[in-house]
Amino acid sequence: MKIILGPASTALAERIAELTGYEKVPVIYKTFPDGENYIRLEGTVKDDNVAIVQTSSVPQDSHLMQLAFMAAAAKNNKARKVTAVVPYLAYARQDKVFLPGENVSIETIAHMLKAAGVDALITVNIHAESALNKFSFPAKNLSAIALLAEYFVQKDCRKAFALAPDKGAMYIAQQAQSVLQGEAGNLEKQRDRYTGQTSQTDKGLNVKGQTVIIFDDIISTGGTIVGAAKILRQLGATRIYTACVHGLLIGDAEKRILNAGVKEIVGTDSVPSHISKVSIAPLIAKALKALKSG
C-alpha cells in the first residue's frame, strides 16, 4: 500500500506513513487565481493499493474537490484500489431531510467520491454512524475518544466526569468513561431547524465539586460547549475541560469557550491546529494495516 499525502492532512499522512512503513506519494497542488484547484501525484501508483489521507475541514468544498481529483488521478494512473482516509467528513451532519426541500448532502458527497474512483472510505467519529449507509462502497468509522480520554488520564484527570453536551454524544461520553473510570452523563440539546439556534438543559446531573470533561465529536462555533459550561458552573463543577475529535473552531469559538470558564480545549490532528494535542495517526495506521491483512 502507498500513502498519498493529501494537501489538507500532510503532517497526519506523514505520521501514518511512518507508523505503517508504507511508501509516501507526495502531491503537488495549487489554487488558480480564480479559485480552481490543481493536483498532481508525484509518484507512481500503478497496480498499488493507495490510501489518500485528506481531511475535509474548512475550506470543505475545496478539500473535497482535491480529494476527488486525487482519487481520479490515482485511478487514471492505474492504482488498483483507492481508500479515502477522511478523518473529518464534511457534510455528514446533513444525513437526512430535516425540512421539506432539503438535500441529503452526505449522500451527494458519497456519490461524488464513488464517481471519482474511491473504492473504500475510512473516517473518524462521523457525526452519526447511520450516514455510512449512504455510501455504496465499504465505509468504516473509527473512534478517537479513547485517545482523547487517555490524554486526560495523563493530565491527572482520572475519575473525571465525562459529559456529553447532547444525547447523541452520549456514546462518546461512555467511551471516555471507560478510560477515565469516573461517571458519565449528558445534557439535552434542542435545535430550531429554521434558525439553527440551540439551547441546552440539565436533567439532573450531579457534578458538584467534580472535574468535568465535555466530550463532543465537533466543536464548530463553540456554542454547544459554551452552553454546557454555563450549566456546569451553575451546578458547581470545579474544573471544566473540553475535548473534541474535530476542532473546527470557527470565528472566536476558542475565546468564547475559554471565557466560559473552560480550562483547556483539546482536539486531534483530524483538523490540524494548535489545539491538536492528540494524534489519530496510530488509530488510522492500525486500520490500514488491518485492511491490508484482511
Residues labelled as active-site residues: 189
Answer for which of 85, 139, 169, 212 binds ligand R5P (CB under 6 A) is: 169
**Closer by beta carbon to ligand R5P, 136 or else 199:** 199
**Residues within window 82-121 making contact with ligand R5P, judged by CB under 6 A:** none
> Of 49-57, 82-90, 165-173, 279-287, which part binds ligand R5P (CB under 6 A)?
165-173
Q: How many CB atoms lie within 10 A of CB 21?
A: 9
Task: Give me 113's grid cell.
Answer: 467520491
Least gap, CB of 58 to ligand R5P (angstroms): 13
Dihedral angle of Cα 108, 110, 113, 114, to the nearest 10 degrees = -110
* Cα–Cα distance, 252 to 210 (Å, whole number): 27
Least gap, CB of 244 to ligand R5P (angstroms): 8
Kindly state whether residue 66 participates in binding ligand R5P, applying the rule CB under 6 A: no
Closest CA relative to residue 88, chosen from 126, 141, 128? 126
Query: From residue 207 to residue 246, what is the string marking binding to ligand R5P with x (rule CB under 6 A)?
Result: ---------xxxxxxxxx----------------------
Answer for which of 95, 107, 119, 166 binds ligand R5P (CB under 6 A) is: 166
Task: Give me 8's grid cell.
Answer: 489538507
Least gap, CB of 144 to ligand R5P (angstroms): 14
CA angle 60, 98, 62 (to 5 degrees): 10
247 φ/ψ angles, rounded to the nearest 5 degrees: -90, 90
**Closer by beta carbon to ligand R5P, 15 or else 127:** 127
**Closer by beta carbon to ligand R5P, 7 or else 223:** 223
Got the DSSP string for 149-179?
Answer: HHHHHHTT-TTPEEEESSGGGHHHHHHHHHH
Residues that bind ligand R5P (CB under 6 A): 127, 165-166, 168-169, 216-224
